[in-house]
Amino acid sequence: MEKQSKSPEKHSIKIRKPNFELEEDLAHDWYDGSAFKTAFENAFSLLFPLGEKSFIESVKYFQKEIKDPKLLDEMSSFYAQESVHRKEHQKYNDLVCKLRDYDMELLNKPQVKRYEWAKTTLPPERRLAGTVAAEHLTAILADDLLRNKDHFTNSGKHVAKLWYWHALEETEHKAVAFDVYAAVCGSIKIRRRALLFATHFIMKDVLRSTVLMLKQDGQLWKIRTWVDAVNFLFIKPGILRRAFIPWLQFLRKDFHPWKKDNRDVISEWESSIPIKN
């Protein structure tokens, strides 16, 4: 039987039960005291509970077509990891909205609408391609966060640890949706188009929520906010600038997430996660 999983032979996807005390951090501009960086990261967090629900559903739909026991095993670890991510980000989002008086319904509105639309309108292969593309975006941002030490000035904060934990698990399972897609559809054209759509909608949602949050905080029209924005996105760390080349690689015909073997960063960060006893 042909192997459907293309992840490294002895690679494992671990299920962890982390324990983050977020309340104190989330009440403030926890990300280096910067209103922009804090709002941007909080806006990103808002997308995960529903986004990851959709990822799980789109992969599960094709479960019956997968025969490789290794990939089946990876799929169940993928569901388990994404379920814990959803739960922890829901806690994060509830807290941030409560502490900072944000309207969660208003913030989530475009994503909820799109989720309903995709569920009822998109063919399952395209929905899965959307997941594959979104998983690529999270994987490249995750690698950048884990590899470069210029993100958080204080990486000891609980909220920073939450982001490291999520990033390392995104790295562990980065090829699961991709391998399922390759086994059940594999169209490069659909995959490429999905990347353009996923990038557009994720950026649009994150920027919209960032602006709404900054408005609520009374920080939207401050010069420092937008100096931080340009620096953060394009200069130092310049997350969008640094993500550009890895983003492009997804468009290659022979792309596979494990062509970049970055298991080194997983072991480096694993010990810093606070685990529930």
Residue span binding Fe ion (CB under 5 A) among the ranges 19-27, 85-93, 204-212, 232-240: 85-93
201 token code pair:
């909608």
Query: Which residues in the 87-126 window bind Fe ion by CB under 5 A?
Result: none
Closer to Fe ion by CB, 226 or 258: give it: 258
Give the shortest CB-234-to-Fe ion separation in angstroms: 26
Cα–Cα distance for residue pair 114/106, rounded to 1 Å: 14
Distances (CA, A) of 138 to 20, 51, 52, 99: 21, 11, 11, 27
Closer to Fe ion by CB, 34 or 171: give it: 171
Q: Is 85 in the site for Fe ion (CB under 5 A)?
A: yes
Residue span binding Fe ion (CB under 5 A) among the ranges 76-84, 122-130, 190-198, 259-267: 76-84
Q: Is 86 in the site for Fe ion (CB under 5 A)?
A: no
77 token code pair:
């670890």
Cα–Cα distance for residue pair 4/65, rounded to 1 Å: 11
Closer to Fe ion by CB, 85 or 151: give it: 85
- Contact between residue 67 and residue 4 where contact means Cβ atoms under 8 Å apart: yes
Closer to Fe ion by CB, 79 or 232: give it: 79
Residue 133: how many other CB atoms lie within 10 Å: 24
Give the shortest CB-218-to-Fe ion separation in angstroms: 32
The beta strand positions in 17-102, using DSSP E, are none
Give the shortest CB-176-to-Fe ion separation in angstroms: 8
Q: Is 136 in the site for Fe ion (CB under 5 A)?
A: no
Nearest residue relative to Fe ion (C-beta): 85
Give the shortest CB-221-to-Fe ion separation in angstroms: 34
Residue span binding Fe ion (CB under 5 A) among the ranges 82-90, 97-105, 117-125, 203-211: 82-90
13-16 contacts at long range (C-beta below 8 A, 24 or more positions apart) = 13/74, 13/77, 13/78, 13/81, 13/169, 13/172, 13/173, 13/176, 14/77, 14/169, 14/172, 15/77, 15/80, 15/81, 15/84, 16/84, 16/165, 16/169, 16/273, 16/275
Give the shortest CB-230-to-Fe ion separation in angstroms: 28
Q: For binding to Fe ion (CB under 5 A), which residues are involved? A: 82, 85, 170
